Amino acid sequence: MDIVFVLDGSVAVLEPSGRERMILAGLVESLRQWTLYAPLTGTGPGFAPATQTGFRVGVIKMGDPTYMCPQAGCRITGNVAQIQQDVFDMVNRTAAMEFNIIDYVQPTIDSMFSGSSARQKVMVIIAKSEVGYIDVTMRNHFRNKGIQVGGIAVDAIGLTIASLRKFADQPVDNTVLGIALDALGTYVLNQLCQPFNSMSVIIASWQSRNLLTTPPCDTLPARVCGEYAHCAWNASEIPACPNGGCIQLGCMALNEEMSRAGFRCENCAIVNNAVMCDLMTFNQASVGVCNVTTCQFTCASGPCTAQPGCVWNNGGCYRQTCTGNVLTCAQDPLATGISPQHQHRANLIRA
């Protein structure tokens, strides 16, 4: 897959947000961290065959026509050193304008994808302020070129989300996300390839979406978590945002006005691309987190089998799961690989 990140380069990203003194610096650091661990091709720019596995990545800035490209030029590459330098150049040189116009970067984006004809092509727009266009055909231009488009609105500004939905693939409720800057890396970039990320419809592989690969535990919902012996579901743990924001609101924190009015996270929801709070609203955060099982911390067969619920298999220590028909499995639900609800249903069937 070849993926181009189109970054907001307008004056809006020169402002502070969350723990960052400058939004653009936060975007760049999140991308830099992601590219360190992303499954890259290891190859340079140019034509790449469809059989070449892994990511190639490119970056470009809107709202900054003077420095929209890195010093080495706008390119798509799978070389980690080249990507790191390109990403760093996005914040190292700036001449920001007041607005983002997609028309100004469209020819360059088309050129960047010129060597990607045989590969899946994805463009992700990450913006703080609205993204506009001059030519109305821009709304469909990239999709008509076979480029799948997603959008990320930093700090989930309603007008920004609405503008990104004009360019994104359907269903736009999945392909356009609103997220706090501090949570961008944790809840979006680090999960782009995973089956239950909302952008999986355009980014995750067919194998990943159909659970034919082994996903990280922290990306899995309850029912699927129990299917993997290296994972264990903690039904009492509540997901937390790295910035202390509201998990229900894409990790955005309530502003001072909302807090003074007595609103808490559970009184608020995102409605029509904006945070709406009402004391009659009860939007409780989901409870339960899929973690790596503690069995995995044991490195020898003896201590492993001595732990209740752990088994030694294929040179590793795993949580015990059902090996046969789950409907006839009489063990504890947390050790069977099925949720308590499904265990209850199985008991009814057996009865």
Identify the residue with better confidence: 315 or 351.
Answer: 315
Q: 0.85 cut: is pTM over it?
A: no
Indicate if 284 and 313 belong to the same structural domain. Answer: no
Q: Which of 257, 216, 255, 217 is nearest to 233 (CA)?
A: 217
What's the CA gap between 41 and 43, in Å, rounded?
Answer: 5
Across the chain, mean pLDDT equals 83
Same domain for 261 and 345, yes or no, is no
Answer yes or no: do 192 and 323 share one domain: no
Q: Are residues 81 and 158 in the same domain?
A: yes
Give which of 309, 286, 312 is closest to 299, Cα–Cα: 312
What integer pLDDT is reported at residue 329 of this predicted model?
55
Residues 209 and 242 in one domain: no
pLDDT of the residue at 339: 42
Picking from 213, 238, 272, the residue at the C-terminal end of a domain is: 213
Residues 241 and 337 in one domain: no
> Are the C-beta atoms of residues 192 and 175 closer than 8 Å to each other?
no
Q: Which two tokens stand for residue 40?
A: 């890259």
pLDDT tens by residue, 185-197: 876 787 777 777 7
Same domain, 260 and 167: no
The residue out of 293, 314, 341 marking a domain boundary is: 293
* One domain for residues 189 and 272: no
Q: How far is 182 from 189, CA to CA, in rounded Å?
A: 12
Supply the CATH number for residue 113's domain: 3.40.50.410
Q: What angle do CA 83, 242, 33 make, to 5 degrees?
A: 10
Domain boundary among 244, 265, 293: 293
Highest-scoring range by mean pLDDT, 38-42, 110-114, 310-314 = 110-114
Domains identified in the chain, total number: 3
Which tokens sit at 255?
């502003």
38 and 180 housed in the same domain: yes
Give residue 220's domain range: 215-293
What mean pLDDT is predicted for residues 28-56? 87
Q: Is residue 301 located within the same domain as residue 288?
A: no
**Do 45 and 186 fall within a single domain?**
yes
- Judge contact between 284 and 224, C-beta under 8 A: no
pLDDT one-digit tens code per residue, 297-348: 888 989 998 998 898 988 899 988 776 555 555 444 444 444 444 444 444 4
One domain for residues 156 and 169: yes
- For 249-272, write each residue's pLDDT tens digit: 877 778 778 888 889 889 988 776
Task: Mark out the alpha helices in the chain (DSSP H runs).
Answer: 23-37, 80-92, 106-112, 138-144, 158-164, 172-175, 184-187, 206-209, 222-225, 256-260, 301-306, 333-336, 340-350
281, pLDDT greater than 60: yes
